[in-house]
């Protein structure tokens, strides 16, 4: 993943190699959750302090499946990640990207920003409706979640 490392260095992203003799990777294959257990090689980088870590994790068959939430990192971080994905796509036999911001498909900054703003408004409304909700939150595993709510105490 020299391309990823080179871009991480050029953009001053924090990164680290992944080299694990045994690791569990949760995958979705044919709409079923499947755990891979075995050796994993790759690279992890942090494109923005408010994004998920971008992980290129390859199993023993060189299969990779990941996601990277950029909702709170802004459109520029999202675009930089898409640019990286475009650079590495030719190295894969099959490379599917599902981009909720639609930038991968359309390359339109305006549509991307509208999509980010729409989700921001929905999240703000959800936070407003639930006084126990707070977010965004970075979990211990490094993932970013929109918000969490404290459970309501049971009434007696």
Write down the pLDDT at residue 155: 56
- Per-position DSSP letters for 32-46, written without gaps between them: EEEEEEEEEEEEEEE
Predicted confidence (pLDDT) at residue 112 exceeds the cutoff of 60: yes
Secondary structure element (H or E) that encloses residue 109, with its range: helix 109-129
Query: Is the separation of the CB atoms in 40 and 57 below 8 Å?
Result: yes
Q: Provide the β-strand partners of residue 26.
A: 35
Predicted confidence (pLDDT) at residue 137 exceeds the cutoff of 90: no
Which stretch of 11-15, 83-87, 131-135, 149-153 has the lowest confidence by average pLDDT?
Answer: 149-153
Write down the pLDDT at residue 152: 65
Provide, rounded to the nearest whole percent, the portion of the chain with pLDDT above 70: 97
Bond prior to 136 in cis (omega within 30° of 0)? yes
* Entry pTM: 0.84
- What is the Cα–Cα distance from 34 to 61, expressed in whole angstroms? 15
Query: Is the separation of the CB atoms in 27 and 9 below 8 Å?
Result: no
Burial class (CB in 10 A: 0-12, 13-18, 19+), 7: buried
Predicted confidence (pLDDT) at residue 64 exceeds the cutoff of 60: yes
Write down the pLDDT at residue 75: 96
Which stretch of 40-44, 75-79, 134-138 has the lowest confidence by average pLDDT?
Answer: 134-138
Mean pLDDT value across residues 108-118: 96
């Amino acid at each position: 993943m020299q391309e990823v490392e080179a871009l991480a260095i050029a953009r001053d992203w924090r990164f680290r190699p992944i080299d694990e003799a045994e690791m569990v990777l949760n995958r979705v294959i044919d709409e079923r959750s499947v755990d891979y257990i075995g050796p994993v090689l790759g690279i992890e980088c942090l494109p923005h302090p408010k994004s998920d870590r971008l992980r290129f994790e390859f199993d023993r068959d060189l299969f990779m499946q990941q996601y990277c939430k950029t909702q709170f990192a802004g459109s520029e971080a999202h675009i930089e990640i898409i640019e990286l994905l475009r650079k590495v796509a030719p190295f894969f036999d099959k490379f599917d990207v599902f981009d909720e911001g639609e930038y991968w498909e359309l390359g339109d900054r305006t549509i991307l920003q509208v999509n980010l703003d729409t989700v921001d408004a929905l999240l703000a409304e959800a936070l407003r409706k639930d006084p126990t909700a707070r977010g965004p939150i970075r979990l211990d595993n490094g993932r970013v979640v929109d918000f969490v709510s404290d459970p309501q105490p049971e009434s007696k």
